[in-house]
Structure 1
Amino acid sequence: MNKTSIYIFLLLSVFFTSCVPTKDLIYLQNKDKDNNEAVIPSNQKPYRLQTNDILTITIKAIDPKMVEIFSNTGGQAAQISDQGSYYTGYSVDDHGNIRLPILGEINVLGFTVEEVRIKIEKQLHEQYFKNEAGIFVTVKLSGFRYTINGEVGSTGTKVIYQDKVNIMEAIANAGDITVTGDRKDVKVIRRYPQGSETFSIDLTNGKAVNSPCFYLQPNDYIYVKPLKQKTWGTGKTGIESLS
């Protein structure tokens, strides 16, 4: 084999091995083509509150003036910014408590937002109001917060204003994974009161929706590591690698 043949062989090797294959870029592929069964997401457990969470609590009644003193929004829902919710919301302290006007400290650590709503309504009825007052309490997290880092369009802490968020929505909200990001091994670090747990999810596989981390929980941390092609310093496509 002469030198020209060796150079051509090496050139073709670089061309075909350094570019990112299309199959590594497509999300949720049906890799088991013989299986057309519907896939049902399994992780939709309600989130249980942790320290540093911020709650938005609204208390209403037939007569709004009756409940103004119990709410920092005057008994009415307020349109506030993400920064505003930090100042007007109710933050869960290190002991797992929130502090409401008149009602005082209420422990919410490990409770769902629905359980906190029931707890506040019960206390209001037992101590201050009769059923005829028409007390209506709403408890929500002040936005769904998560942090994303690595090979995505926009890193950092993000907020989505909806109750449930899956990892595909979170990544899309961060500008999608770059071409040099590893979609087959996305890490999700989830914090619990007793510690943290790390999950790995292959987003190119359609069965990813069955993963316990497909549906995120507030305060999840997502990391997308780079592909080897980026480490090698080659191009994303065969043409770039050839250049």
Structure 2
Amino acid sequence: MPRFLVFLVLTLVLLSTSCISTKKLSYLQEDKASIDSIVEVHRLNKPYRIQIGDLLSIRVKALDQDIVGMFNPIDEGNANATGEERMYYDGFSVDEHGNIRVPTLGEVNVMGYTVEEIREQIEERLLSEYFKQEANIFVTVKLAGIRYTTIGEIGAGSNVLYKERVTIMEAIANAGGISDVGNREDVKILRQYPHGEEVHHIDLTNLDAVKSEYYYIQPNDLIIVDPLPQKSLGSGTTGLESFRTIATVVSLLSTSILLFTRL
């Protein structure tokens, strides 16, 4: 009987420390004390500023499209390319000096500017150097998708979402989601800045994550999801898996002890 009690206590202790609780697996959990509160999602008020390596889509339109055709690059050698491939060939990549090369206009510095500021800059140059107001030119400047990379306990790889704003939840879902042994409480974001790279942390199990300034990802973000201790222990993610593992270990130990005591 004492042996049975020892086995039972040992099993319960190991189960409580080895299996992964639903609290660690659930996203954006509400605080029980404020479950009726209204959650205000704080969107980033600061517009994104272009950095080295970004890819821009720039198009110029006018009443007479023929007169602006030279400003709209079309790589006829890759006419069958679609989506990201098309943007690779036709987009404007920001070089190490923060410049892009626009047909006829030449090099345009875009480093640190917003897409709206770049649009105004290009439009102003076109009106002063090539067209008159009567041409009614219309310039659009957009980021050619938000590119980001995921590694760790998440679908690893490079991804592109063709939206102006992307939340970290959308980015993770697009990458295939976080595995059962991924640490949702401390997701790391490696973000590029003009002065270098910084690592930021966000707890995706807490509803307050939507208020974080890192809830919306930026181009070239690296999202890192570390494993929980249960992965290295190999004890299973559910109580049943953990019980089977523990039962097997205890059974082997008991058998070994009985064999040694009989010698």
State the TM-score, normalizing by the size of structure 1: 0.93
Q: Shift of residue 38 of structure 1?
A: 3.0
In 2: Cα distance, 1:34 partner to 1:115 partner:
42
User: Structure 1, residues 1-59: CA drift from partner, whole Å, max 9, x if none?
Assistant: 82222122112222222111111111111115236133231434211111111111111
SS of alignment partner, residue 59 of structure 1: strand
Q: Shift of residue 238 of structure 1?
A: 0.6
SS of alignment partner, residue 151 of structure 2: strand
Contact 1:59 1:70 in 2 (8 A): yes
AA aligned to 1:104 is: G
Q: Shift of residue 184 of structure 1?
A: 0.6
Residue matched to 2:235: 234
Unaligned runs of 5+ in 2: 245-263
Residue matched to 1:13: 13
Unaligned runs of 5+ in 1: none
Residue matched to 1:214: 215
Question: Against the structure 1 CA distance between its residues 79 and 165, is the aligned structure 2 distance closer, same or farther, given a 3 Å change threshold?
Answer: farther
1:72-87 maps to which residues of 2 (within 5 A)?
Answer: 72-73=73-74, 80-87=82-89
Identical-residue share of aligned pairs (%):
49
SS of alignment partner, residue 67 of structure 1: helix
Residue matched to 1:131: 133
Residue matched to 1:89: 91
State the TM-score, normalizing by the size of structure 2: 0.86
SS of alignment partner, residue 185 of structure 2: coil
Question: Against the structure 1 CA distance between its residues 105 and 225, is the aligned structure 2 distance closer, same or farther, given a 3 Å change threshold?
Answer: same
1:107-146 maps to which residues of 2 (within 5 A)?
Answer: 107-146=109-148
Contact 1:58 1:73 in 2 (8 A): no
User: Structure 1, residues 103-123: CA drift from partner, whole Å, max 9, x if none?
Assistant: 111000001111111110010
RMSD: 1.7
Question: Against the structure 1 CA distance between its residues 44 and 183, is the aligned structure 2 distance closer, same or farther, given a 3 Å change threshold?
Answer: farther
Q: Shift of residue 131 of structure 1?
A: 1.2
User: Structure 1, residues 77-133: CA drift from partner, whole Å, max 9, x if none?
Assistant: x98321231122111111111111111110000011111111100100111111111
Choose 1 or 2 for highest CA Rg.
2
